[in-house]
Structure 1
Amino acid sequence: MDWKKYEKEIFEHFNGQYPNAEITLDAKKDGMFSKTKRQIDILIEQYVAGNRIVIAVDGKYFNKKVDVKAVESYISMLEDIGAHKGLLISKEGFTEAAYNRAHFGATEIELEILNFKDLHLFQSHGAIPYAGINGALVPSPFGWVLDGQTTPAWLATLYLQGRTLNEAMQDNEFMYIQFWDRLKDGDSLEDLLRFQESMFKDADPECSIEFLPTIKRENEKTKLRVSNIKNYPTREYTGFVEFEDFIFFCVMFSPVNRSKSNIRKLENIMEAVLPIKIEHQNANKSMQPIANASAD
């Protein structure tokens, strides 16, 4: 794949992600300060609450990690064209200094890794984790993959594309998905939050818990919790969606200099996840799960 094909792959991804936006490939925009035409790989323009929002996307098809100088140059371009947000995408990743410059600066910029190499075994850009008859349609956020390998601790995990689960856990940048069955005891989201808080207090009496403003869904309660717990690798961020028969929750760990971007990815999952019912058929004495098209 050359850089032109890489750019087109990115363009097609955003066409799907922003169906109601005006998206231009290889756009030109007047610089407010440079007084010259600036080239933008992908320009996304969309009205939100009556305001026109401009997002600039630039793909770096480098064979090495993008450094802080490239990030600073991109921030300067964003200011020149009056963009509200920038997405800088690299196939090989970014240096720590680049992540720090993006996270701690005032400009709204996200650094994303997207590599269209073959996915590893069990990885995909979306999956249906399930427990018993409860399942969920879960899309993976941009630049991440969903790993369908299950353990007693989780039904699925998510992490940056191009990594393995072990690598993601070593870097303290991953999510895992779990369900809480509401039909057993009739528990509500508040019941689950109280139960988990008591477990946190048992593990660390001085732990701190707070709830952040987050996305809202029309028919389901949502919560976004952040917990500081001793001996945890990072802050624990957990997004909850209360469905009729179960509570979906996704737990995330993230380095500080990627937390703003990764919280948005967690919220994307909370916004997009859909409940489904799983029917099991007995075939050759093994249970074969089949997703029922009807959601809760």
Structure 2
Amino acid sequence: MNWKKYENQVFSYFKNRYPNSQIEQNIFIIGQLSKTKRQIDLLLEEIVAGYKIRIVIECKDWNKPLDVADVEQFVQKLNDVRISKGVIIAKSGYTKAAKEYIKNTGDINLHVLKFEDLGKFQGFYGFTYRGIHGAIVTPPNGWIIDAQVPKQMIENGGLCLMYPMELEAKDSFKEKNLIYFDITELDEFENCDNLLDIFLKNQEENIEKYDNKSSVEYKTENSKIGEIKIRITKYPNHHYTETAGFSSEGKLIVAIYGMHKHNEEEEFRHHIKFIFDQIQLITLYGSDPKNSHKDWSLLLNSTTSNAKSKTFKHN
């Protein structure tokens, strides 16, 4: 793949993900400091609450990780064109020093997109289900969704796994940097207003058994599918924190669990709210050969199987 094809694929990815935004490719902006034309791979513009948000997206189809000097050049370009938000999309990732440098530079994100590696079980959207209850799930920005859920997570209820694009699944576990999604129908209970409270109380008993020094805190958030309950659980004995979100409808519990390092609760709370805002819940009563339901449009050209989740990518 040459650099132009890679840039076109990045353009298509953002165009599909942000259909209401204006995205320009390969444009030039006069630098306020240099007084010369600065080339911009992609410029994304969107109006939010009456304000124009501009994001510069740089594409790097390199065979080696980007280092500090490479990231620093991008920051200098942003300063020159007076745009504060930027994203670098790199095929081969970044050095540890580059990642450390970017932490102190403001609204800059480092993402990795390896389009040729987005195989059968990875993508930017996922369709996952248990029984007749399914959902189309979108991971947070810069993350990928994976249908190959490890055995131990399936046993714990996970239907699909999400992690940063620059990581592999095994690394996300090692680095405590992952999110997993689950749908549970509580058939053993009658419909009641406090069904979610019963579900969470049962989980708290298991949390105490898992780590006798654990602490649990709850918050409430509003999302597009309604009110969600955020639970922050610290596991001192196991050296990580879990930030989770829950929503209930009748006997159905939708749960999103984030495993991360301590002091990253706010970041993962935003991730979980993003997923809830994007989620599309589906009830699978039977076959639909005409694909009449609007949400089935995402499943065209896909075959149904006994798998619990599928993922899709945009080409």
Give the TM-score normalised by structure 2. Answer: 0.76
Match of 2:178 in 1: 174
Match of 1:69 in 2: 69
Match of 1:123 in 2: 122
Cα drift, residue 115 of structure 1: 0.5
Aligned residue pairs total 284
1:183 and 1:134 mapped to 2: Cα distance? 13
Match of 1:94 in 2: 94
Cα drift, residue 101 of structure 1: 2.3
Cα drift, residue 42 of structure 1: 0.7
Structure 2 residues without counterparts, runs of 5 or longer: 288-304, 310-315
1:261 and 1:27 mapped to 2: Cα distance? 32
Match of 2:284 in 1: 278
Residues 1-296 of structure 1: pairs in structure 2 closer than 5 A: 1-103=1-103, 105-149=104-148, 151-153=154-156, 154-161=158-165, 164-182=168-186, 184-185=188-189, 186=191, 187-210=194-217, 216-232=222-238, 234-254=240-260, 264-279=270-285
Q: Is the 8 A contact 1:99 1:257 kept in 2?
A: no
Cα drift, residue 63 of structure 1: 0.7
Match of 1:284 in 2: none
Tell me the SS of whatever aligns to 1:157. strand
Q: Is the 8 A contact 2:220 2:227 kept in 1?
A: no
1:200 and 1:259 mapped to 2: Cα distance? 18
Identity %: 30
1:176 and 1:290 mapped to 2: Cα distance? 13
1:250 and 1:237 mapped to 2: Cα distance? 9
Q: Is the 8 A contact 1:226 1:236 kept in 2?
A: yes
2:12 and 2:6 mapped to 1: Cα distance? 10
Aligned CA distance change for structure 1 residues 164 and 45 (closer, same or farther; 3 Å) = closer
Cα drift, residue 241 of structure 1: 3.5
RCO greater where, 1 or 2, for CA within 8 Å and sep 6 or more? 2
Q: Is the 8 A contact 1:172 1:233 kept in 2?
A: no
Moved more, 259-268 or 35-44: 259-268
Structure 1 residues without counterparts, runs of 5 or longer: 282-286, 292-296
